[in-house]
Amino acid sequence: MSFTHSVTADPEVDQEATALIDALVRTSFVTTAIISKIAADHDLSLTQLRVLAILEDRRVKMTDLADYLGLDKSTISGLIDRAQKRGLVERAPNPLDGRGVDVFLTKTGADLAQVGRVVIASALSPMTGVLHRAESERLTTLLERMLDGR
């Protein structure tokens, strides 16, 4: 099944672009399904799991987190409220912005984020494990370049 339509007038370029887009879409579907199941197994939504991953190594302003996730202020507040009630995150005033509020992981949240990272790596290993080291490094570089271009 193809999820793309004609991208260019050049059939050869069009075929290459279609194949790439189709592979990316199929890969994202499989990856999202795996990650969504892992989130559900830990009583988290996919967005809550994303929050844990984002906060795993940093403390960020609520507004920056909302922007990164593409959520509005009320949605991010509710999301963080629920995570805080579970003991996964805490809030504190931002030291550089008197009106800003930072959010960061608690020990429980950091432990769950680490478990999530390990379980996700294990679950994705059947796909990533078929690549040789050089292929894996090249794919990582290409994906990062694609993300930088968005």
Give per-residue pLDDT as tens, 19-60: 999 999 999 999 999 999 999 999 999 999 999 999 999 999
CATH of the domain at 115: 1.10.10.10
pLDDT band at 13 (very low <50, low <70, confident <90, very high): low
Q: Is residue 4 part of a domain?
A: no
For the chain, give the percent of residues with pLDDT over 70: 91
State the pTM of this model. Answer: 0.80
pLDDT of residue 12: 62
Q: What is the pLDDT of residue 73?
A: 87
- Whether residue 1 is contained in a domain is answered as no
pLDDT at residue 77, rounded to an integer: 94
d(CA 70, CA 73): 10
Residue 6 lies in a domain: no
- Domain of residue 83 covers 11-148
Q: Which residues make beta-bridge pairs with 105?
A: 89
- Amino acid code (one letter) for 100: G
Residue 120 DSSP code: H
Domain-embedded: residue 72: yes
- Is residue 119, in this structure, part of any structural domain at all? yes
Residue 137 lies in a domain: yes
Separation of alpha carbons 77 and 82, rounded Å: 9
- Supply the pLDDT for residue 43: 94
Domain tally, the chain: 1
Would you state the structure tokens that stand for residue 77, as one six-digit string?
């507040």
Cα angle 50, 54, 55 (rounded to 5 degrees) comes to 120
Residue with more model confidence, 44 or 1: 44
Residue 68: inside a domain: yes
- The sheet that has 89-93: what strands, in order across it? 60-61, 101-105, 89-93
Give pLDDT, residue 50. 95
Helix, strand, coil distribution of the chain in percent, nearest 5: 65, 10, 25
| Residue 140 included in any domain | yes
SS3 43: coil
pLDDT digits (tens, 9 = 90+) for 57-93: 999 999 999 999 999 988 999 999 999 999 999 999 9
Burial of 23 per CB tally in 10 Å (0-12, 13-18, 19+): exposed
Continuous segment of H or E residues that includes residue 28: helix 11-41
